[in-house]
Every structure is written in C-alpha cells, then in structure tokens.
Amino acid sequence: MAETLILNDTIKVDPMEDQIKIHVDSASIVSLPKDIQKFYVENLYQIGWGRTSNREQLLKVLDEAYLDGINNSKYNTEKVHQFHKDYQRLSDLDKIQADFLFTKAFFNASKDLYNGVQNPRRLYNDWDMFPKELNTAATMQLALSRGTIQTTFDSLRSPHKIYVNLKNKLSNLYQLNQDTIKAVTAKYKLNDTVPELVNIKKHLNFLSYYPDSLSKDFINNEGVVTALKQVQKNSKLVENGVADKKTIEAILKEEATVKEKLVVNLERWRWFPRDLGDNYILINIADYSLVAVKSGDTVKQHKVIVGTTGRKTPILSSVLKTIVINPTWTVPPTILKNDLTPKASANLSYFSNARFTIYDKSTGKVVAPENWDSSKASSYRYVQKAGVGNTLGRIKFMFDNNHAVYLHDTPNKANFNRAQRSLSSGCIRVEDPFDLAQFVFDIQQNEISQEEIKKILDSQNTKNITTSKEAVHIHQLYWTIQVDNNGKITQFRDVYKFDNDLYTKLQ
C-alpha cells in the first residue's frame, strides 16, 4: 500500500514528466477545491492527464464503480468520456478544463472508495467512524507519473476479506441476467428435463439455496425441488417445489433485498478501519456475536447482548485499557431517568434490595433511602455494590469512548439463549466473559491464575487489571450480510433498521 497510497504530507512527490506540456494559469484554479489546487501547485502548474493510458484507466475505474456498490453519476462520466474521445482535437484551453474534470473525478472516486460515499458521523450521532487520512493530491500525482491509476484504486479499496467477498457477490449478481429467468408454465415432475431450470438454478445458487456444481443442467432433481420449497417457505407460498410465477417473483424479490444489503454493507466496510490490529475483539451488533482474534487467527467466539432500538449500542473502535473484576456500577443518566427513578419512587426498598448506595453529588455524603428526594433524582450519584447480583455481573472490560459504554458480564445468563438479543441499555453483555478475559491475559502475558481470580471474586473487592503491555483493539461494528469464500450468503437481522435508509442515500 505504501507504494501506491500516500497518506499524509510527509512524503513529497516529484512533478510529473508528461509528453504534453500545457501550463495552467494560477488564476484558473482558485475556484477549485483546496486539495485539487494543491495538485496543480505541486505539479508546477502543468496538466496531469495528457497520457491516453491514464485517462483510459480512469474511465474504466469510473465505469466499474457500480461493482463496489457506488453510484458513479456524480463523477460526470458522460462528459469525462466525451473529453477523452475528443482529446486530440481539443484546444489547450479545453484540455485544461478537461484536466480539471478528470482530476475532480479522480478525487471524488478515490474519496468514495477509500472512506465511503456517505459520512457516518453526519448520518448517525452514535457512529464514531472517522475519515482515514489520505493525501489525494500526492497519491494521484504518483499514479499519473507511474501510469498506475487502476492499481491505485485497487489499493484504495478496503483490504478486508469480508469486503472482497461482498464485492465479488455483487459482481455475480450483475452477471445474472434477470430477463432469462422465467416461470415454468408446463407441468413437470421429478427428473424431467425442463429448459427453464438451467437459469433458475443459477439464481438459486446465487441465493445459496443450491450448490454450484449442479447448476448447469436442465434436470428437475430433488435438490432443485428442495431449494424451490425453501424459497416458497421463506416467502410464505405454497411449498410445492414448482418454479411457478409467484416463486420466480419471490426469487427476484429476494435478490433485490440481497443487492440492497450488499451495497450498504460495502459502504459500511469502507467506513470501518482498514487495520483492525494484530489482536482484537470484533463485535457484529447485527449478529449478536463477538470474535476474539490473535495474530489473524480467530481463537474465540461468544454470544453477546446489545442495545435496544431505543438505546442503541454505538459503533466505534478503541483499545482495551482495563479489566475490572467485581465491578461496582454507577447508574448513568438515561437509566436513572427511565428505570431507577420510577422503580424507587414506587418502592424505596428498591435501593436496599438492589444494594445501591446513594451519594449527594454536592457534598459526597451518603444519603439514606428515606431521605431521597425523587424530584431531585439527578442531584445524587447511585452506586451498586460489587458482587453477586450486580448489574454488570462479575467483570467488565473498559476502553476509551465517547458514549460511556463497555463490555461486561450479566447476572441474567438465560437471555443468551434468545435468538434476538437487543436487550441492553447500550453496553454489550458477553457470554462467558472470563473466557474472553483469559484471551486478553494470554496476549498480555499476564499469568494471573484461576485460583487468584476466584479469591478476588470471593472477596467481593473490586480489582482493576490494566492491559497496557500489548494492544487489544475493540471494534463494535454493524453489518447485516456476510459472504464466505465459496459465495454462500449469511444474512443478519437489521436490528436498528439502518439498511433501507442508507441504500436510499447511496442511490
């Protein structure tokens, strides 16, 4: 990547040596964006797109943007094509205008591919995904000089395998010709030769209902009958295994849904960090799942419970700082307002039953439950004692973030058996959290024994263990479809209903 992408201003690129020398007047660039002006200044006020091969590569990149789920209409591709076609006949002044257009297209397309078309921080107040640094002017200058426009855009693309597989699947969808999939109107039975089935099988294979090795024949075998019945079941149709009109419509409708998910999740992976770290904990909120990765190898998998739709778990990346055994719990403002105050107002014994200590914020003194004033609930601090029954369970994982969230245990283990686990107030509850802690201890080379942990737990005293020796990254992310290396689709519930709105914004 270092050979094709220049991320900051620390590396300077020499001005291009181009066959066509046309001077760009400094006054003509003042209306251009600052980063584009920077390119022409550093290129000594010479045009950059004189080489035919560079323009051809750019056109190919723009034309194929849809394969990454990107709408290329804002790149002014029709005019870019026309300028390229007429280039040899253009006046110098027109070549300068063409150069500006090519440069704008490069800048816009590179930004979209590298950081995403949309800015998640403008769409959501709880997505802490920040633009990745890129010196676009120097990167373009290097690509033009070397003639490596296509290679540069390949480097701009997210390197994650999930992204690569999503892109490949979207490409496969565009290769399917929906006009060729037709309902079978004639009656047929098992093992009959049915010409329409060869294309129907391709679509069933795309949707992961049917294996690829069997998708090239016309035979109505048991596999295709089973696949069609599954489509019908999912669409609440009569399960007869026949490729009738309603079943074909259901296949095409499902493909449209898959396309939407592929497009929006490609965008999300453009937002996500390109480097997750050597050792990291990765949560997919939509899948209620957590994986722990050590040196590129997934070594642990855990179920998780995430925030409700009203108290969403934020999307963020951070670094684990502290593991707390026997944590206390200080009630955050939202839970104070929506949960604690109504419960305590109904029954003051709630404080003692839940083992809360009340502190006056202004004096720091303990307040007896009978002296608590519900009308001034926010003037107190509420701390739940460590130990059995604590809302956070017996362990929590702390990391810097803007939302006061963390990973933690829970006393309510039965909820991990539920299929839909958006139940928390924003923090993430982890099944078998001490197993996850052991993953961290192993990376940190912390030789704390199970016996020592048991002693700490039995004491009910709070113990903080710092994790500063070796970085363990935390990534709370959100994606609703995944494709394995064989093209098999796994879809996840769009817990927070993000997909449709994002898809609309990307069109």
Query: In the structure encoding, which two tokens stand for residue 58, read together?
Result: 């750019």
Beta strand pairing call for 481-483 and 489-491: antiparallel
Three-state DSSP at 429 gives strand
Q: Which of 119-123, 182-186, 291-295, 427-431 has the lowest mean pLDDT?
A: 182-186
Per-residue pLDDT band at 468 (split at 50, 70, 90): confident
pLDDT at 3: 63
Per-residue pLDDT at 251 exceeds 60:
yes
pLDDT (0 to 100) of residue 434: 97
pLDDT digits (tens, 9 = 90+) for 100-123: 999 999 999 999 999 999 999 999
- Name the percent of the chain lying above pLDDT 70: 96
d(CA 237, CA 29): 61
**pLDDT for 26 beyond 90:** yes
Active site residues: 408, 427
Write out pLDDT tens, residues 288-310: 999 999 999 999 999 999 999 99
| 3 state SS of 387 | coil
pLDDT single digits (tens) 214-228: 667 889 999 999 999
Q: What pLDDT is attached to residue 11?
A: 61
Q: What is the pLDDT of residue 2?
A: 46
Judged against a pLDDT cut of 90, whether residue 28 lies above it is answered with yes
Residue 206: is its pLDDT beyond 60?
yes
CA pair distance 440, 477, nearest whole angstrom: 20
Mean residue pLDDT of the chain comes to 94
Distance between CA atoms of residues 287 and 495, nearest Å: 9
Q: How does pLDDT run across 66-103, given as a tens digit for each residue?
A: 999 999 999 999 999 999 999 999 999 999 999 999 99
pLDDT of 374 higher than 70: yes
**Helix, strand or coil for residue 293?**
strand
d(CA 191, CA 139): 58
pLDDT for 255 equals 96
CATH architecture under which domain 277-328+390-507 falls: Beta Barrel (2.40)
pLDDT over 90 for what percent of the chain?
88
**pLDDT category of residue 1 using cuts at 50, 70 and 90:** very low
pLDDT tops 70 at residue 254? yes
- pLDDT higher than 50, residue 48: yes
Whether the CB-CB separation of 9 and 38 falls below 8 Å is answered with no
In angstroms, the CA 50 to CA 103 distance is 12
Q: Provide mean pLDDT across the span 188-201.
A: 90
Please check the confidence at residue 182 and state whether its pLDDT lies above 70: yes
State yes or no: pLDDT of 270 exceeds 70. yes
Rounded (5°) CA angle 380-428-302: 150
- For the chain, how many residues are written? 507
β-strands 422-424, 407-408 pairing: unpaired
User: Is 174-259 in CATH node 3.30.43.10?
Assistant: no
